[in-house]
Amino acid sequence: MRRLTYIYAILFIMAIVFVVVNCTDEDLVKNGQENMEEFSIQEAKDYFQVQMAENLILSRSLSSEDNKTVSPGDFIPDWDIAVGASMNELASYSIPITPTCRFKAIYVDIYNGIPSVGKVNVYQKLVIVKDTKSKKLS
């Protein structure tokens, strides 16, 4: 019985040593934020302002032919706390926004032939991406 206890204790100590030795402070997936010199926050801001001016929706009516999607409403991007990341040939900025309105989506599920209706919050996010190889923004 004592021999079995010693074996379990040794295995336990070996497992702890194995875990401690293999612990690192590095991320498994690196986002490569150090290569953001190819895409500046000012370039992202300029692109966004041009796109907003060109695609400004003056009406919230969904009955027109041009406006078939739900408008995200008015929002204010907070450019000062944008988070940049790059990987392979894509660089992006994730910009937090302050919306003036919030949306909810209504869904219908059918369980055992009985429909049930629910709603969920719809969250908005502003992300501007640049292909550093072709220099295209979206």
**Among candidate residues 48, 52, 99, 50, the one with its CA nearest the CA of residue 72:** 99
- pLDDT above 60 (res 35): no
pLDDT digits (tens, 9 = 90+) for 43-101: 888 888 888 777 665 545 545 555 444 455 677 888 888 888 888 888 889 888 887 77
What is the mean predicted confidence (pLDDT) over 13-30?
73
The pLDDT of residue 119:
92
pLDDT: is 122 or 30 the higher one?
Answer: 122
- Listed residue (82, 85, 112, 108) closest to 97, CA to CA: 82
